[in-house]
């Protein structure tokens, strides 16, 4: 019994903001600590979002693209591309993206009970529109911060992804581009998933 009391004392703590002491909860059935990682926590808090764009027939040498401008919160971004044949995925930072071009796509919250919307802004209207990315906007320039080529056999399916998140610059334009290297058309899709966070230090 005394051991249990000591353990309970070790598993108490005070919040960083100086609030009351709180006990870490232990599952009543298994008597184990139940925890989740930070990325999982952001899903439950309603701060994780996803969006995608695809083209079933990307012409030879052409691309399907996603463009947006980040907000004041940091976007911790992961991406995946799915395609057929030989294609290259490129991420461009700080390109010039033209308003009223492309098609805006609404970002979806991964917690379907949350009413929070993404800070990413799309270019498909006359003014930047929060909560959106833009499929196939007109753009120029930009610095390549990621490039990955997938050498799949023509007509064969393939995919690639970013396994560790990239923290994008705040209030900065980005282009995600999947380019068809084949001599004929092929399908391709870009998928984005991210959470938005304000650093505390």
pLDDT tens digits, one per residue of 55-65: 999 999 999 99
pTM given for the model: 0.80
Number of H helices, E strands in the chain: 2, 18
CATH of the domain at 160: 2.60.120.680
The answer as to whether 128 is a domain residue is: yes
- Report residue 71's pLDDT band, with 50, 70 and 90 as the boundaries: very high
What 3-state DSSP class applies to 76? strand
In angstroms, the CA 133 to CA 177 distance is 13
Range of the domain at 125: 40-197
pLDDT tens digits, one per residue of 92-147: 999 999 999 999 999 999 999 999 999 999 999 999 999 999 999 999 999 999 88
Residue 31 · residue 46 · CB < 8 Å = no
**pLDDT above 90 as % of the chain:** 55
How many CA atoms are closer than 13 Å to the CA of 20, on its beta-carbon side?
Answer: 2
pLDDT tens digits, one per residue of 31-41: 777 666 667 66
The answer as to whether 65 is a domain residue is: yes
**Structure tokens, 131:** 């909560």
The answer as to whether 30 is a domain residue is: no
The domain total for the chain is 1
The answer as to whether 7 is a domain residue is: no
The answer as to whether 17 is a domain residue is: no
The answer as to whether 154 is a domain residue is: yes
The answer as to whether 58 is a domain residue is: yes
The answer as to whether 54 is a domain residue is: yes
In angstroms, the CA 63 to CA 178 distance is 5
Count CB atoms within 10 A of the CB of residue 80. Answer: 16
**Structure tokens, 174:** 């980005």
């Amino acid at each position: 019994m005394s051991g249990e009391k000591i353990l309970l004392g070790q598993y108490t703590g005070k919040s960083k903001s100086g609030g009351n002491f709180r006990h870490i909860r232990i599952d009543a059935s298994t008597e184990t600590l139940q925890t989740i990682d930070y990325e999982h926590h952001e899903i439950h808090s309603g701060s994780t979002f996803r969006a995608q764009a695809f083209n079933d027939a990307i012409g030879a040498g052409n691309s399907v693209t996603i463009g947006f401008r980040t907000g004041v919160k940091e976007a911790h971004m992961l991406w995946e591309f799915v395609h057929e044949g030989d294609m290259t995925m490129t991420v461009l930072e700080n390109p010039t993206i033209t308003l009223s071009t492309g098609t805006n796509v609404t970002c979806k919250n991964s917690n379907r009970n949350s009413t929070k919307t993404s800070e990413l802004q799309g270019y498909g209207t006359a003014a930047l529109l929060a909560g959106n990315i833009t499929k196939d906007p007109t753009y120029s320039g930009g610095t390549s911060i990621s490039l990955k080529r997938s050498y799949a056999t023509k007509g064969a399916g393939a995919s690639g992804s970013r396994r560790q998140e990239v923290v994008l610059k705040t209030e900065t334009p980005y282009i995600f581009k999947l380019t068809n290297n084949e001599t004929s058309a092929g399908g391709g899709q870009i998928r984005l998933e991210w959470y938005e966070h304000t650093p505390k230090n």
